[in-house]
């Protein structure tokens, strides 16, 4: 029998590390009407996170992830959140960002702000509200180190729940176009026998995938219809 | 006798050899517990209508070198002086037609409005104190406004708040830097959106307008 080399041991550890636990995702969708959202070639979409609550805020990396999902098939051009917030500073800070369409309409009545929106070719604003939280935690892993070496021992498990809602605002009609709600749950595990082996549930990634795919369908349906009507 | 001396010297050397790494380690642990940072960053220009005023922003040394130090619980030291100067310089440039800065009120008298920002209070809340998964920063400013003859116009107490959630593998320093930047941006948002709404400033602006109109009318007659 061949002795276990360091290289093969490392590969085995890495393989174990890539194991991911199961995540269940539920997506709910609400559309104002059956027609898909129109987006001209020079028009863009901005995805923004809600940050005004005291106990949580929508993660910026989650917003970036949704932007990437929307832009995946190059049908929807997304203006990055940070760029948008800086271009419209100080009107989209947690203190000043509009919570409803009435407030947004009032904001767009200000020529200086409306002009900036038009210059950026913004057609839709998508607000994301929610966060991923650790809901349950059990077990423990303890590690020790001494002159002869060190190691970890134990078992821990934790459950994460990501709940997010996306609301689409049409900036031309100044009306709501649709909503998508997603809930993703997943349990992660950490087994430690000398080496700690984490088996992580990608809850936030799954929530992003679910919400991103659903949001894309709001725009994609329109492109499909255009293509179908254009075929002889 | 000499043998005793040598034994003593040897023991002392051994103790010293043991104590030195212990001291180094304890110093390292002590510094690991303390959070020290100087807030750095950039602010975008504010999207707002410029007021037809020539302003002077006076940055007193206390304001320009402001550092918040907390020794209660975990030792925290946050320097916000320089970034505050950058923030208020930018805000004044965005809000007023002409703006300049000085370190003293007597430096320049050829202005309509003098703004002297002062920090009244800074509070920081860490997750281990609040049991919440957020780092929070509050800044309370006292914005003193004077007219060209150095007469007080308003004493505006303006608060700013910023928070950032705890993240896996994110250090306290990094989190406090982010929360401080959010608080400073919030201060900017409060300043731009609230300036003309402060009753004393509103009244002063109205009086100025009436005076200017009266002067115009008398010159036309």
Which tens digits make up the pLDDT trace of B54-80?
999 999 999 999 999 987 777 889 999
CB contact under 8 A, A57 and B165: yes
Q: What pLDDT is attached to residue A101? A: 94
Give how far A231 is from chain B: nearest CA, Å: 46
Question: Chains A, B: CB contacts under 8 A, how many?
Answer: 49
Average pLDDT over residues A182-208: 90
Tokens of A174: 């100044």
Give how far A86 is from chain B: nearest CA, Å: 6
Q: Where are the beta strands (DSSP E) in chain B?
A: 35-38, 51-58, 67-70, 76-79, 96-102, 113-125, 134-147, 152-165
Q: What pLDDT is attached to residue B99? A: 94
Which of these, A170, A163, A164, A63, lies nearest to A125 by C-alpha position?
A170
Euclidean distance between CA atoms B165 and B163, whole angstroms:
7
Selected for mutation to probe chain A from B189, B190, B192, B194 (highest A CB count within 10 Å) is B189
Average pLDDT over residues A68-75: 87
Tokens of B28: 């390292």
Selected for mutation to probe chain A from B41, B42, B44, B158 (highest A CB count within 10 Å) is B44
| pTM of structure | 0.81
Q: How far apart are the first and last CA of chain A?
A: 68
Euclidean distance between CA atoms A56 and A132, whole angstroms:
9
What backbone phi and psi angles, to 5 degrees, belong to A48? -125, 150
Note whether A64 and A81 are within 8 A (CB): yes
Give how far B32 is from chain A: nearest CA, Å: 20
Give how far A47 is from chain B: nearest CA, Å: 19
Residue B1 pLDDT exceeds 50: no
Most confident of A204-218, B80-94, B96-110, B118-132: B80-94
Note whether B100 and B108 are within 8 A (CB): yes
| Mean pLDDT taken over chain B | 84
Nearest to B186 among A56, A93, A116 (CB): A93
Selected for mutation to probe chain B from A51, A60, A89, A119 (highest B CB count within 10 Å) is A89
Q: What pLDDT is attached to residue A43? A: 92
Average pLDDT over residues A137-149: 89
CB contact under 8 A, A89 and B165: no
Nearest to A90 among B49, B132, B189 (CB): B189
A181 vs B216: which has the higher pLDDT: A181
Query: What digits encode the pLDDT tens for the residues A37-56?
Result: 888 888 999 999 998 888 78
Residue A109 pLDDT exceeds 70: yes
Euclidean distance between CA atoms B156 and B206, whole angstroms:
18
pLDDT band at B35 (very low <50, low <70, confident <90, very high): confident
Nearest to B189 among A86, A87, A93 (CB): A93
Residue B169 pLDDT exceeds 50: yes
Nearest to A116 among B47, B185, B189 (CB): B47
Tokens of B135: 């780092």
Give how far A27 is from chain B: nearest CA, Å: 26
Q: How far apart are the first and last CA of chain B?
A: 113
CATH C-level class of A29-131+163-183+203-230: alpha beta
Which of these, B115, B116, B112, lies nearest to B148 by C-alpha position?
B112
Tokens of A7: 């290289």
Give the chain A residue nearest B194 (alpha carbons). A96
Residue B113 pLDDT exceeds 90: yes
Query: What digits encode the pLDDT tens for the residues A167-194?
Result: 999 999 999 999 999 999 999 999 999 8
B180 vs A229: which has the higher pLDDT: B180
β-strand A149-170 against A44-49: which pairing, if any? unpaired
Selected for mutation to probe chain B from A51, A56, A86, A90 (highest B CB count within 10 Å) is A90
Nearest to A113 among B45, B47, B163 (CB): B47
Note whether A180 and A166 are within 8 A (CB): yes
Q: What pLDDT is attached to residue A227? A: 47
B33 vs B150: which has the higher pLDDT: B150
Q: Would you give the DSSP letter of residue B195?
A: G
Least confident window among A53-57, A144-148, B106-110, B205-209: B106-110
Tokens of A177: 């176009």
Give how far B183 is from chain A: nearest CA, Å: 10
Residue A15 pLDDT exceeds 60: no
Nearest to B186 among A56, A88, A95 (CB): A95
Tokens of B88: 């208020």
Q: What pLDDT is attached to residue A152? A: 92
Note whether B177 and B40 are within 8 A (CB): yes
Q: How far is CA B176 from CA A132, B139, B181, in A?
A: 21, 13, 8
Provide the CB-side half-sphere exposure for A190 (13 A, CA): 17
Note whether A115 and A87 are within 8 A (CB): no
Give the percent of chain B with pLDDT over 90: 58
The contacts of residue B134 (CB under 8 Å, 6+ apart) are A55, A57, B125, B127, B163, B164, B165, B166, B179
Give the chain B residue nearest A113 (alpha carbons). B47
Q: What pLDDT is attached to residue A127? A: 96
Q: What pLDDT is attached to residue A41? A: 86
Rounded to an integer, what is the distance from CA A116 to the centroid of its chain?
26
Instruction: Name the 3-class secondary structure at B59.
Output: coil
Nearest to A90 among B164, B165, B193 (CB): B193
Q: Which residue do the tokens 């910026």 mark?
A: A60
Instruction: Name the 3-class secondary structure at A107.
Output: helix
Give how far B47 is from chain A: nearest CA, Å: 6
Mark which residues 158-177 of A lie under 8 Å from B by CB. none
Residue A69 pLDDT exceeds 50: yes
């Amino acid at each position: 029998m061949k002795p276990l080399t360091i290289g093969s041991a490392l590969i085995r550890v890495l393989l174990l590390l890539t194991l991911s636990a199961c995540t269940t995702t539920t997506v709910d969708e609400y559309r104002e009407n059956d027609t898909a959202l129109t987006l001209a070639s020079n028009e863009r979409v901005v995805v923004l996170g809600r940050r005004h609550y005291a106990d949580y805020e929508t993660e910026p990396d989650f917003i970036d992830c949704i932007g990437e999902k929307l832009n995946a098939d190059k049908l929807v051009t997304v203006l990055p959140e940070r760029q948008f917030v800086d271009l419209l500073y100080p009107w989209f800070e947690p203190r000043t960002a509009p919570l409803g369409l009435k407030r947004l309409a009032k904001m767009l009545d200000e020529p200086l702000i409306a002009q900036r929106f038009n210059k950026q070719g913004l057609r839709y604003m998508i607000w994301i509200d929610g966060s991923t939280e650790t809901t349950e935690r059990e077990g423990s892993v303890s590690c020790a180190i001494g002159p002869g070496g060190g190691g970890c021992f134990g078992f821990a498990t934790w459950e994460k729940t990501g709940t997010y809602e996306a609301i689409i605002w049409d900036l031309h009609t100044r009306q709501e176009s649709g909503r998508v709600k997603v809930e993703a749950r997943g349990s992660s595990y950490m087994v430690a026998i000398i080496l700690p082996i984490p088996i992580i549930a990608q809850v936030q990634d799954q929530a992003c995938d679910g919400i991103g795919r659903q949001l894309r369908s709001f725009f994609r349906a329109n492109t499909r219809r255009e293509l179908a009507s254009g075929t002889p | 006798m000499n043998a005793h001396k040598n034994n003593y010297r040897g023991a002392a050397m051994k103790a010293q050899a043991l104590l030195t790494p212990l001291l180094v380690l304890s110093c390292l642990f002590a510094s690991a517990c303390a959070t020290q940072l100087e807030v750095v960053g950039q602010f975008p220009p504010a999207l707002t209508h410029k007021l037809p005023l020539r302003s002077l922003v006076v940055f007193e040394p206390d304001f320009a070198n402001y550092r918040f130090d907390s020794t209660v619980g975990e030792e925290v030291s946050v320097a916000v002086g320089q970034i505050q100067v950058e923030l208020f310089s930018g805000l004044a440039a965005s809000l007023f037609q002409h703006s300049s800065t000085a370190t003293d009120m007597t430096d320049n008298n050829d202005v309509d409005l003098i703004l002297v920002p002062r920090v009244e209070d800074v509070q920081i809340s860490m997750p281990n104190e609040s049991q919440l998964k957020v780092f929070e920063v509050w800044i309370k400013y006292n914005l003193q406004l004077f007219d060209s003859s150095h007469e007080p116009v308003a004493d505006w107490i303006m608060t700013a708040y910023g928070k950032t959630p705890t993240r896996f593998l994110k250090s306290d320093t990094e989190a406090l830097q982010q929360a401080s930047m959010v608080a400073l941006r919030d201060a900017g948002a409060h300043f731009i959106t609230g300036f003309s709404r402060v009753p004393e400033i509103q009244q002063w602006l109205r009086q100025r307008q009436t005076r200017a109109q009266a002067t115009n009318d008398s010159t036309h007659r």
